Amino acid sequence: MYYLSREDFISLLRSLEKSYNVYAPVKKNNQRFYKKFAGDYSDILVGEVRPFEPLKAFFSPGRESVAEGFKPDVRLGEDKPSCVVGVKACDLKGFKVQDYVFLNHDYEDPFYSGRRKANLIISSDCTCAIDTCFCLALGVKPYPQEDFDINLSPVEGGFVVELGSSKGREVFNQHSHLFRKADEDSICVREEQRKRIIKEVDENIKDNNIPLQDELEGVVEEEGETDIWEDEVKTCVECGACNTICPTCHCFLLYDEKDEDKMQRLRIWDSCLVKDFARVAGGANPRPKLWMRLRNRFVKKFNFFPRVADIYACTGCGRCILACPAKIDIREVLRRLVDKKRIKE
């Protein structure tokens, strides 16, 4: 492991700007969000918790052109790849689902694949927890362990640095003069900080009586017809915020658009909570009721993906809890499902 001072970290990002569009989290009015930087890095926030936007936005944008006319070439819309700074472990787990969907089959999505190969991930440890964090319940530690290129663990005056890929090693080799070997004191501070954050998240889980993933096996499938769905969906306004803000949701809609100059095919994020999501030709809809669509979201995350990919498609980031205007809480739904299962047993 290595040490990178705050000043040298700024120098590193300024250098990376030559090859990447650099995005890093900032904080305003108690909200954390990604911002593109151009020289001034004084307000970068490396640490705390995940920004509000999901990491998937840098790999599968909410709206993009995937074809223009009948041109055979496939191109990305960016002038340079992205370097995303301050990525948290809950977002990195999202890669497990996104990669399964877009990479691990007979046909790779060229847009997603191109960005996965080109983009640079500089992740960081969480240094606090907010009350909607429950990553540990889904088997995710509050610090990155994989799927990053470089990880930063904030310590006094700088960061303990860990390399996670050949791409990260290449960046390190190109900027080796900025790094030095991490001393034992800095490493100990990192380990104590990680233990403290684990304790904070664990307290969240206990305070909110959140079930652990070992308790979730088969619970959605077994409770498929429960009245819990109809009860929980009463306040839903069908906005789709839970889908668009989620780091693992990946469904999209293709549509064609024509103007005077060109015709193009666009891809936009879609939401399984929206009525037209499952509608087919002739107007038939296998999920005409809103409660069925809410159930489908949970089936996909807690039944389908564990069965086909051996992973729960929830990272415990808590974004959907904060984004939902109807105050539907994924933790409460899971708790009710598990409690009902226990009663039956």
CA angle 228, 231, 237 (to 5 degrees): 125
Residue 27: which H helix or E strand, with range? strand 21-28
> Which of these, 48, 24, 10, 1, lies nearest to 151 by C-alpha position?
1
Q: Is pLDDT above 90 for 261? A: no
Averaged pLDDT for residues 230-246 = 95
Q: Are the C-beta atoms of 123 and 92 separated by less than 8 Å?
A: yes
The pLDDT of residue 38 is 73
Considering Cα of 78, then 81, then 84, then 89, what sign does the dihedral take? positive
What is the distance of C-alpha 241 from the center of its chain? 14
Distance separating alpha carbons of residues 86 and 219, to the nearest angstrom:
34
Give the DSSP letter of residue 66.
E
Sheet architecture: strand order including 252-258? 63-68, 263-269, 252-258
CA angle 53, 141, 186 (to 5 degrees): 100
Q: Are the C-beta atoms of 88 and 144 separated by less than 8 Å?
A: yes
Which residues neighbour 28 within 8 Å (Cβ) at sequence distance 6 or greater?
none
Which residues neighbour 341 within 8 Å (Cβ) at sequence distance 6 or greater?
219, 222, 223
Across the strands, what pairs with 154? 159
At 20, the pLDDT band (50, 70, 90 cuts) reads very high
The pLDDT of residue 222 is 64
Averaged pLDDT for residues 113-129 = 96
Averaged pLDDT for residues 100-121 = 92
At 107, the pLDDT band (50, 70, 90 cuts) reads confident
For 298-326, how does the pLDDT look when each residue is reduced to its tens digit (9 = 90+)? 999 999 999 999 999 999 999 999 999 99
Q: Are the C-beta atoms of 266 and 64 separated by less than 8 Å?
A: yes
The amino acid present at 114, given as its one-letter code, is G
What one-character-per-residue DSSP string does 75-117 give? --S-SS-EEEEEE-HHHHHHHHHHHHHHTSSSS--HHHHHHHH
For 132-162, how does the pLDDT look when each residue is reduced to its tens digit (9 = 90+)? 999 999 999 999 999 999 999 999 999 999 9
